[in-house]
Structure 1
Amino acid sequence: MAVRFFHTSDWHLGQFFHNHDREYEHTQFLNWLLEQIKEKQPHALLIAGDIFDVINPASAAQKQLYQFLADAHDIAPNMQTLMIAGNHDSGYRIEQVEPLLEKYNAKAVGVIDWNKDKSLNIDHLLQPIYNEQKDIVAWCLTLPFLRSAEITGFNDQTTNSQNAIAYLHQQLIAEAKARKQPNQALILMSHAHMQGGETSDSERPIIIGNEEALSTSLFDDVIDYVALGHLHKPQKVGQAHIRYSGSPIPLSFSEINYKHQVVEVEIDPTLQTEDRFKFQALPIPRSVQLHKISGELQSVFEQLRNLADGEIEAINQREYVDIEYHTDTPPQPNLRQQFEDAMPSNRYRLVRISRKYLNQQNNNDLNHKISLEPPTPEKLFQQIWEKQGYSTDESVLKDFLSLVDEAQKSLEDDASV
């Protein structure tokens, strides 16, 4: 029996993009996704983590998710929604609303659960997927973002993060093999940074302590499809059935050329290996355009004047503009206003200005960006560390990120009380 499902991830509901909310863009994406669900009627929708942008999402972001789940259940009552927590999510928070999710045929796996005897609670992580006749057509192995504090020190196999990660995969895959029938597929959903994955500048670092990106060797050959989240660029990792779906909207200007998509997958485990997969990328329409403009000042002004005109009344629907101008001289005090005046009125939002000196060799220390959003903890640490005259050693940065992760975990624990 074939199983049909959608693979998506990294929605980042509630994100602010250079201090501008993305609610309109997310609404457009979710409405488009509802149309795909209505037409295709998949057995399952997999959301591979980073559902929200922060661990304490605003009420508007939570409303977007739960309204979507209600609407999806109305138009596809047989479809299951399975989602896992990413590194931006609070695993405890997304699990707390389980009674609500059940009404919409949805399930959230936010944290790794352990039994009283310190063994892994596999039933929590291994979820069946049913067809319209309520037959199990697949098992989904759900692995949320693996925080070191949540997976180490429980038994002899979890003395450190590397051992614990290997143990989790081995135990879960072994039980999935035992339960699997010949006509059932095995799908593994994980939020992780895999070796060989291509990153953008908007992904929060999740390689902490002394840990490295994970190897695809963790995935047994019996796994029919690996649905990954965390990296925002749609891509396969090594093999065609190990994939990042990518984010539905660009989360930074470095993602301006990404082909955002939802992956439609059909697997018939009764067929031979080369015939059992069908993949189709469903391109997501971009509701708000991004423009990255660079060059010497004269060229920048010319590019700004050549932007398409036509007023966009709603501010949250106006297009984003990022400017990097090249110069040998300090900026004029009213340069930002000159940029604003050069653009067609009431259509664009100038959200970032960067200055790059032409004489790079002698002026590297003078190059800087004017960011209109607060720095991340990592960037702030690097700035202060370098200001004190120290070089940013990789091991020092990893130690700092480990502390940030522990602080974030502490905030999640407080939120779950």
Structure 2
Amino acid sequence: MKFFHLSDLHIGKQLHHYSLREDQREILGQVTEYARQLHPDAILIAGDVYDKSVPSAEAVRLWDEFLTGLSRISPRIPILIISGNHDSAERLQYASALLKGQKIYLAGEVTEQGMTRVTLTDEYGDVTFYLLPFIKPSHVRHLFPGEEPETYTEAVEKLIRNQNIDFINKRNVLISHQFYRGISDPETCDSEIFSVGGLDQVDASVIRKFDYAALGHLHGAQSVGEEKIRYCGTLLKYSVSEASHQKALHLVTLGEKGDPLKIEKLTLHPLHEVRKKKGTLSELLAEVSPDERNDFISITLTDEEELYKPREQLDQVYSHILEVRIENTRTRRKLEELDETVKIQSPAEAFGEFYQKMQGTRMSEEEERFMDEIFEQVKGE
């Protein structure tokens, strides 16, 4: 069985102050064209369809264009979609019962029955896809009276265990949008949002029995411990920290139970690249290729002398400048002369200090966990 794995579309996002509407329309059009040419057995979208929980009207129109284009491919390709932490679960799930008749399966929330399941069939038998939208422990505690999960790992583990999945004989694919962590820390980007103190981390061992885990949330394509547990990354670069990424559309081939899976990365061609350039002002003004002029550019100037209106001069050459930084002997010396590092505390750290000053003692582990959950709930609101 072959399927596309994509995630984190972030429709409606801006890169610094530049709209990405046309960039997103172009890249989603390329995904649709690949779907027409290759006709996968399914398309999995692992959360963060929108960049904001209340998307703009033009973002909703672009998402509608994308779904409509995919649904017009004949024979119809099943599309499986979950909500991410940026999405409004209720809004994304709108008309899900109606769309199910068009082979578009939406899972915005976990139901009383647990995860939404979609079963497809190929020459080797059934493949069951489990749709697990972004969850917090508080979202699912009502499903486990008397043994409520306290951590993100426990919440995911209990949901999976409650499904009574046949991992021995059947092929099973998980679609999930969480921050999974293996033995080592995964690569993260500036454009991602994480919880205070890593509270939202999920131990990847709880999903290792799946034949493939199609993950969303991290913007860099990478596996988590095993090749079958994989973040596909974004289709576009959404921060300067992603400038070196090679974005691609993942085509996954799942063979017979127990066979190694195959992952192909299909080339994508963005309207604008994201680049970093470093050098003196004269170098950056002189050494410009035609391709770079309209790309999104992060510039670091290394001139030692004071410059006359460097941004205005650079604007004459580059049409989409994201930022201009200065890095030279003077700026490095200023940093070295700082007597103390400015530390930005998290809400939990600030409250912990306040509590200790007022009570004369530190919070207990149970109290710290309780406050972490409160800050998470406030952030979610």
Q: In structure 2, the residue corresponding to 1:197 is in which secondary structure?
A: coil
Q: Deviations over 1:63-111 (max 9, x none)?
A: 1112221211211443110011111111111112314533532111112
**1:283 to partner: Cα distance:** 1.9
Q: TM-score, normalised by structure 1?
A: 0.76
Q: Is the 8 A contact 1:190 1:226 kept in 2?
A: yes
Partner in structure 2 of residue 129 of structure 1: 120
Partner in structure 2 of residue 29 of structure 1: 27
Alignment equivalent of 1:158, drawn from 123, 134, 148: 148
**1:301 to partner: Cα distance:** 3.0
Q: Is the 8 A contact 1:208 1:398 kept in 2?
A: no
Partner in structure 1 of residue 57 of structure 2: 59
Matches within 5 A, 1:282-321: 282-295=266-279, 299-309=280-290, 318-321=294-297
Q: Is the 8 A contact 2:4 2:44 kept in 1?
A: yes
One-letter code of the match for 1:392? I
Partner in structure 1 of residue 129 of structure 2: 140
Q: Deviations over 1:277-306 (max 9, x none)?
A: 2221112122212231223xxx23312332
The change in CA–CA distance for 1:208 and 1:402 in structure 2 (over 3 A counts) is farther
Q: Deviations over 1:341-386 (max 9, x none)?
A: 3x1xxx621221223352455412899xxxxxxxxxxxxxxxxxxx
One-letter code of the match for 2:282? F
Partner in structure 2 of residue 379 of structure 1: none
One-letter code of the match for 1:157? E
One-letter code of the match for 1:151? V
Q: For 1:71 and 1:284, how far apart are their aligned partners in 2?
A: 18
The change in CA–CA distance for 1:402 and 1:257 in structure 2 (over 3 A counts) is farther
Partner in structure 1 of residue 315 of structure 2: 340
What is the percentage of aligned positions where both structures have the same residue?
Answer: 22
The change in CA–CA distance for 1:348 and 1:16 in structure 2 (over 3 A counts) is same
Partner in structure 2 of residue 4 of structure 1: 2
Alignment equivalent of 1:248, drawn from 228, 232, 235: 235
Q: Deviations over 1:162-200 (max 9, x none)?
A: 43232123223xx221xx794x52001111112232111
1:355 aligns with 2:326: yes
Q: For 1:311 and 1:160, how far apart are their aligned partners in 2?
A: 49
Aligned-CA RMSD value: 3.1
Q: TM-score, normalised by structure 2?
A: 0.83
1:211 aligns with 2:196: no
Instruction: Return 5+ residue gaps in structure 2 as ranges.
Output: 353-370
- Residues matched between the structures, number: 356
Q: Is the 8 A contact 2:199 2:372 kept in 1?
A: no
Q: In structure 2, the residue corresponding to 1:145 is in which secondary structure?
A: coil
1:231 aligns with 2:198: no
Alignment equivalent of 1:186, drawn from 137, 158, 172: 172
Q: In structure 2, the residue corresponding to 1:321 is in which secondary structure?
A: strand
The change in CA–CA distance for 1:245 and 1:398 in structure 2 (over 3 A counts) is farther
Q: Is the 8 A contact 2:208 2:229 kept in 1?
A: no
Q: For 2:159 and 2:66, how far apart are their aligned partners in 1?
A: 31
Q: Is the 8 A contact 1:142 1:189 kept in 2?
A: yes
Q: For 1:13 and 1:212, how far apart are their aligned partners in 2?
A: 23
Q: In structure 2, the residue corresponding to 1:200 is in which secondary structure?
A: coil
Partner in structure 2 of residue 91 of structure 1: 89
Q: For 2:217 and 2:24, how far apart are their aligned partners in 1?
A: 18
The change in CA–CA distance for 1:239 and 1:156 in structure 2 (over 3 A counts) is same
The change in CA–CA distance for 1:398 and 1:231 in structure 2 (over 3 A counts) is farther
Q: Deviations over 1:254-293 (max 9, x none)?
A: 11121111211111234xx3x3422211121222122312
One-letter code of the match for 1:337? E
Q: For 1:49 and 1:27, how far apart are their aligned partners in 2?
A: 18
1:391 aligns with 2:372: no
Q: In structure 2, the residue corresponding to 1:75 is in which secondary structure?
A: coil
The change in CA–CA distance for 1:353 and 1:95 in structure 2 (over 3 A counts) is same
One-letter code of the match for 1:325? L
Q: Is the 8 A contact 2:134 2:177 kept in 1?
A: yes
One-letter code of the match for 1:353? V
One-letter code of the match for 2:246? K
